[in-house]
Structure 1
């Protein structure tokens, strides 16, 4: 089964007083275009995270985020009580020596002093926490892959429908193809007969008609298009990773349909060709999303 390049996945893992969230989403792209936003604590693992994503997703414009949410009150900035006391005594001494009044709102004054409210400890990433974070990353990637498979199944169904439609339209051309030979011959003969005093060699006319009709013959185009339709179906069954090949096959199908249209000198045939082009255009639009 083919996969789509469009997908989304998110997983939240609890670890002690934290919630570790990993979120990943992807859109279509010719190669892997990865953008990451990783919490500072986990940045040392960025290369490992990138390798995990590249191994699973292969292609696509991928946006990945990994962040931490802590329980309320856990991450509050501590007050340096010893420093507050030190500032208090220093300010009282200065006020006494200089002869100025002491602050009316001591708390407001002291909390605005340097380093009273500061977080000096440096948090380190433990193996246990990284194991939890890695589970979140792996889970988000797996969820995105599942999403891609679901989207891929819908794409495959759409492609099969469009291929069937092109095949049906191709069969509809045949009756007009057979009748147009006689119409071409009759139209040329009628045109010659309307010119007064013209004498022509019927054998030579027949030879010229055969040459003209051969130039308008679409048997080879029909056969090649039939082969391309078959190859498209076989490639879809090969599974994911066939998006580029499907795009190339669609281009070749377009060549044969365009040539058929240029050789079709009947309105009915040209109308059918237009419908085939419409079906193929929808395939080309969606095949860009196939992995």
Structure 2
């Protein structure tokens, strides 16, 4: 069980300097990845997207990399060929326009002129460094997401317990109220017929009773709610993301509760329906944070 919210950090060091990577994530309906790299490492952005995408299903993940190159790494990593080419073009343009030629150090700000040490590493070596860096951050990130997910599941179960308690009380109260409603309906009909000098036709009353029972009966809704709760709890044993499945089950539970509330006019049951919907909404809010 993983939460969509988490944070992880990794760091690797070498003669070339130090790289730090942070991963942070928040809940989101879909999968979204944002990678922020130093300018001289921008070519690795697609690589990070490719590595991060299989690691989660829902959520907004931000990956940040900071580079602190060693003191001896900068001077030896000038792209002299590119710098000379640019300087030649600038010099030619300066001559054509009659404009003064600026200091050559200004060219150090041009992208690609000052390359990071990774730009001079063997491709496999550079990728190995980034693999290790990302693995450390992801392990840290997943530990936090799992801990948060377990906590959220505990909160969800607590709120689900409140919902089940409301449903159980509705079931107990409804049995008594059903018999009372039938008895009160019969008494009212008999009073009306007595005022008209007529008597109750038992066969006709039996037909009306069947219609009333079908209209008021909530046993099917209560049964389906019990089934939905069992399905909800069984999701805990499934592997992989469960957030969307739980959200669907809660929608079905909410639909049954609404149907139940529309069938029953008893004030106590109506109050219990409101409490059940409130507890179910609390469950739904917590589910939004699960992957």
Tell me, yes or no, whether TM beats 0.5: yes
Question: How does 1:82-97 map onto structure 2 within 5 Å?
Answer: none
Partner of 1:139: 136
State the SS of the aligned residue for 1:201: coil
Q: Which residue of 1 aligns with 2:33?
A: 34
- Distance in 2 (CA, whole Å) between partners of 1:133 and 1:15 is 12
Note if contact 2:40-2:115 (Cα within 8 Å) is conserved in structure 1. no
Which residue is 2:269 aligned to?
269
Alignment match of 2:103 (pick from 81, 93, 114): 114
- Cα contact 1:23–1:66 (8 A) shared by 2: yes
* Distance across 1 between alignment mates of 2:106 and 2:157: 65
Q: Specify the alignment match of 2:150 in structure 1.
A: 153
Does the C-alpha gap of structure 1 residues 243 and 188 become closer, same or farther in structure 2, counting only changes over 3 Å? Answer: same
For the residues of structure 2 that align with 1:191 and 1:251, how far apart are their CA atoms?
Answer: 39
The whole-number CA distance in structure 1 between the counterparts of 2:105 and 2:242 is 61
- CA-to-aligned-CA distance 1:187-245 (integer Å, 9 cap, x gap): 22343355432524331123212321221111111111111100011112213311111
Distance in structure 2 (CA, Å) of the matches to 1:54 and 1:257: 38
Provide TM-score, normalisation by structure 2: 0.79
For the structure 1 residues 259 and 115, does the alpha-carbon distance in structure 2 shift closer, same or farther, using more than 3 Å as the test? same
Equivalent in the alignment of 1:178: 175
Normalised by the length of structure 1, the TM-score is 0.79
Counterparts of residues 31-110 of structure 1 (less than 5 Å): 31-70=30-69
Q: CA deviation at 1:10?
A: 1.4
Q: Find the residue that maps to 1:25 and give its secondary structure.
A: strand
* 1:31 Cα deviation from its structure 2 partner: 2.2
For residues 47 and 117 of structure 1, the distance between their equivalents in structure 2, rounded to whole angstroms, comes to: 30
Aligned length: 257
Asked whether the equivalents of residues 57 and 145 of structure 1 are also in contact (C-alpha less than 8 Å), the reply is: no
Q: Secondary structure at the match of 2:2?
A: coil
Superposed counterparts of 1:198-213, under 5 Å: 199-203=198-202, 204-213=204-213
Q: Does 1:126 align with 2:127?
A: no
Moved more, 31-40 or 218-227: 31-40
Gaps of 5+ in 2: 76-100
The secondary structure found in structure 2 opposite 1:241 is coil
CA contact (8 A) 1:192 1:198 kept: no
Aligned to 1:257, what secondary structure does the other structure show?
helix
Of structures 1 and 2, the larger Rg is shown by 1
CA RMSD of aligned residues (A): 2.6
**Which residue of the other structure, out of 185, 188, 200, is the alignment partner of 1:188?**
185
1:261 to 1:198, Cα distance in 2 relative to 1, 3 A: farther
For residue 180 of structure 1, report the CA deviation from its aligned partner: 1.4
Structure 1 distance, partners of 2:158, 2:114, is 62
How many Å separate the matches in 2 of 1:122 and 1:74? 10
Q: Distance in 2 between matches of 1:30 and 1:55?
A: 16
Measure how far apart 1:39 and its partner are: 1.5
Check 1:67–1:230 CA distance in 2 against 1; reply closer, same or farther (3 A cut): same
Corresponding residue for residue 278 of structure 1:
278
1:15·1:129 contact (CA, 8 Å) conserved in 2? no
Q: Which residue is equivalent to 1:10?
A: 9
